[in-house]
């Protein structure tokens, strides 16, 4: 009989070992971590022990992710409170920059809004943005994360532009239409990478859009 035929037979006849109980103690196999032999029962115990270790490792990872998410949620809450309390446009921008820099350790942040209200000052946030980038922002269903190559957003970071290795671009929307973009840059190429989770970046975009649109009104 071939080994797979033996395995199939034992699966189909689970009563086999009940009828031959002596096999469980007398049959020996190679130890998985050494050259000595052990009984099938001991081998099964080792397999269960290894499985438990893997499960403990997975549980540890889940707990770590949970703690990290709790920390991010707490930071998002502080940012939300600050943005709600901001009384004007400049205050909202300062709040955004402060929390992203101090709470989230994002070294470079730039905001651009497409349309400047007539009563507002000439601020960098209302600088001209190309139609190409505005069209790109319209197509974003989630934040873009990756290289700055080929994006005019790299110039938004001023003197630090040459050192920026990765960026996150978040479209800001109000009433369904795109009103601007948030750009976050880092010298670390792994800080914002393609395929990373963007749920908190999306929430940041929604929060900032609402706060700035309200302040401009």
Q: What is the DSSP letter of 124?
A: G
- Tracing tokens 């893997």 back to the chain, one arrives at 54
| Alpha-carbon gap, residue 40 to 133, rounded angstroms | 66
Q: Is the pLDDT of residue 132 over 90?
A: yes
Q: List the beta bridge partners of residue 109.
A: 184
| Alpha-carbon gap, residue 32 to 43, rounded angstroms | 8
- Residue 33 confidence class, pLDDT cut points 50, 70, 90: low
- Residue 91 confidence class, pLDDT cut points 50, 70, 90: very high
Q: Is the pLDDT of residue 37 over 90?
A: no
Q: Is 76:96 a contact under the CB 8 Å cutoff?
A: no
| Domain 86-216 indexed as CATH 3.30.450.40 | yes
Backbone angles phi, psi at 113, to 5 degrees: -120, 140
pLDDT at 139: 94
| Alpha-carbon gap, residue 89 to 41, rounded angstroms | 71
Residue 66 CB burial class (10 angstroms; 0-12, 13-18, ≥19): exposed
Domain positions in the chain are 3-54, 86-216
Q: Is the pLDDT of residue 38 over 90?
A: no
Determine the 3-state secondary structure of 148 from DSSP.
Answer: coil
- Residue 31 confidence class, pLDDT cut points 50, 70, 90: low
pLDDT digits over 166-189, tens only? 999 999 998 878 999 999 999 999
pLDDT digits over 142-162, tens only? 999 999 888 999 899 988 999
């Amino acid at each position: 009989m071939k080994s797979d035929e033996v395995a199939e037979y034992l699966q189909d006849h689970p009563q086999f070992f009940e009828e031959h109980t002596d096999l469980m103690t007398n049959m020996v196999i190679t130890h998985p971590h050494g050259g000595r032999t052990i009984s099938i029962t001991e081998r099964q115990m080792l397999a269960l022990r290894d499985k438990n270790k893997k499960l403990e490792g997975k549980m540890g990872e889940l707990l770590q992710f949970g703690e990290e998410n709790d920390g991010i949620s707490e930071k998002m809450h502080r940012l939300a409170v600050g943005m709600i309390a901001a009384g004007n446009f400049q205050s909202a921008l300062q709040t955004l920059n402060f929390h992203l820099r101090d709470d989230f350790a994002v070294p470079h942040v730039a905001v651009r809004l497409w349309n400047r209200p007539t009563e507002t000052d000439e601020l960098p946030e209302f600088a001209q943005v190309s139609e190409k980038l505005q069209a790109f922002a319209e197509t974003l269903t989630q934040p873009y994360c990756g290289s700055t190559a080929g994006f005019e957003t790299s110039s938004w970071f001023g003197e630090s532009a040459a050192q920026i290795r990765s960026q996150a671009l978040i479209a800001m929307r109000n009433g369904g239409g795109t009103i601007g973009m948030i750009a976050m840059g880092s010298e670390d190429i792994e800080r914002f990478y393609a395929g990373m989770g963007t749920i908190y970046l999306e929430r940041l975009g929604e929060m900032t859009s609402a706060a700035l649109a309200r302040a401009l009104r």
